[in-house]
Each structure stands twice: as structure tokens, then as C-alpha cells.
């Protein structure tokens, strides 16, 4: 879909935002009647569809591409404001996922800054999830940006870049001064994202 999918650099995973059908809470009988009515209506109207008998939720899923487990869901979690997603991408280590949001939505509201008579809402524009357990590990908020596309630098620890709907390009770079002589076994993606103040505008 337009919300994107991405193959991991290691070639073992596929990440995608997937629409999931949930049963209607009104009950089984009600669902059957509604579905029957929708099927009849679908014959005369292109906008009528049996899916209307269900609720839709969206999940961020990691699928296996390995032969023994091909197609199985390795990890998943519900995603808020999935309709605002503009890109999904694995980090160079395949250990993290970057999600970018291109619209401001109430579920992405992180805080509100009040300066005198001016109220400035701050929204989440980027999220980073850990692939192993789908834990949200980093959030980048902004008062002005809406993201068209975002991606990691192909080199580990190289940072990330995102483009805004206003035509700006912002670069976040890895801060090696905070690494504390960290070995390569540490998570450079996480260290990089601890320094959002290093964003550069081009």
C-alpha cells in the first residue's frame, strides 16, 4: 500500500503495515445479518462491501523471509495513525525500524507549548522500533515538520535523513562523542538517535 513496506538489509525480514479485520462487537448474529445485507448491496453499488461488517485496525508486522518460516509473522504491534504513515525502513543493522508520519493527527500529539497567548502543538514525526520485540525506543517530535520520506544512512551509525512537505531536508547524524568507546556490538542506531539536537537543515 501507499504506507509502505521494506526488506531488511540482512535479507531475513519484511516489514509492512497491514490492515487487520476485527469482529464487530455487536455480536455474531448481527455480523451475519449485516454481511448478508452488504453482499446483496454490493451487487448494485460499487461502494458497498462486506468489510463494512468489521472494524479495521493496522499492525506493523515483521514477516520471515527465511525458507523454514517463510511468510510467518515474527513480531507485530498495533500502530496509531497508520493512515498518516509515509515510510517504513529498516536500519542498516536490521535491528530497528524507522516510521515516518506525514500528517498531524490527534493520536500523534506529544505535547503543547504555551508561549503567552500562543499555543504550539508538538507532534510525533518519527518513531524507531526495536525489531526483536517491537518496543518503541525513540521518538522525534516537531512543531512544524510533516515528513514526506525518511531513511537511514546505509552505513551503520551514519545517521538518518528526512524530507518535509515544505521542501526542507533535515539530517540527523551520529554523535560519536557519546559512544564512550562503545564496541561495535553496541547499538549505534540508538546512540545516533539520542542526539536529535544535531539536526541540520539544508
Q: Which three cell numbers stand for residue 61?
A: 508486522
Instruction: Decide: 156 and 95 in contact? Cβ < 8 Å.
Output: no
CA distances from 39 to 19, 22, 33, 53, 55 (A): 21, 18, 10, 10, 17
Instruction: Report yes or no on whether pTM surpasses 0.75.
Output: no
* Phi/psi at 141 (5° precision): -95, 165
Distance between CA atoms of 89 and 9, rounded to whole angstroms?
10
Instruction: Decide: 156 and 90 in contact? Cβ < 8 Å.
Output: no
Distance between CA atoms of 186 and 99, rounded to whole angstroms?
22
Given a cut of 90, is residue 10 above it in pLDDT? yes
**Three-class DSSP category at 21:** strand
pLDDT of 3 reads 55
Given a cut of 70, is residue 90 above it in pLDDT? yes
Q: What is the pLDDT of residues 33-77, one digit of tens each?
A: 454 444 444 444 444 445 454 588 888 999 999 999 999 999 998
Instruction: Decide: 5 and 14 in contact? Cβ < 8 Å.
Output: yes
Contacts of 138 (CB under 8 A, 6+ apart): 126, 127, 128, 190, 193, 194
pLDDT of 25 reads 60
Work out the angle at residue 41's Cα, subtended by the Cα atoms of residues 40 and 43, and round it to the nearest 5 degrees.
Answer: 75
Amino acid at each position: 500500500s501507499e504506507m509502505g513496506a521494506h526488506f531488511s538489509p540482512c535479507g531475513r525480514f519484511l516489514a509492512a503495515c497491514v490492515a487487520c479485520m476485527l469482529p464487530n462487537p455487536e455480536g455474531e448474529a448481527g455480523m451475519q445479518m449485516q454481511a448478508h445485507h452488504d453482499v446483496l448491496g454490493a451487487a448494485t453499488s460499487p461502494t458497498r462491501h462486506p468489510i463494512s461488517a468489521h472494524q479495521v485496525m493496522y499492525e506493523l508486522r515483521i514477516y520471515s523471509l527465511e525458507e523454514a518460516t517463510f511468510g510467518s509473522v515474527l513480531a507485530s504491534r498495533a500502530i496509531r495513525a497508520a493512515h498518516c504513515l509515509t515510510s517504513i525502513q529498516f536500519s542498516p543493522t536490521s535491528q530497528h525500524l524507522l516510521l515516518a508520519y506525514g500528517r498531524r493527527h490527534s493520536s500523534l500529539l506529544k505535547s503543547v507549548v504555551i508561549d503567552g497567548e500562543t499555543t504550539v502543538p508538538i507532534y510525533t514525526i518519527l518513531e524507531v522500533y526495536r525489531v526483536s520485540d517491537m518496543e518503541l525506543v525513540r521518538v522525534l517530535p516537531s512543531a512544524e515538520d510533516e515528513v514526506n520520506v525518511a531513511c537511514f544512512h546505509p552505513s551503520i551509525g551514519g545517521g538518518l535523513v528526512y524530507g518535509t512537505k515544505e521542501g526542507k531536508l533535515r539530517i540527523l547524524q551520529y554523535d560519536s562523542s557519546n559512544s564512550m568507546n562503545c564496541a561495535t556490538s553496541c547499538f549505534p542506531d540508538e546512540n545516533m538517535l539520542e542526539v536529535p539536537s544535531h539536526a541540520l537543515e539544508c
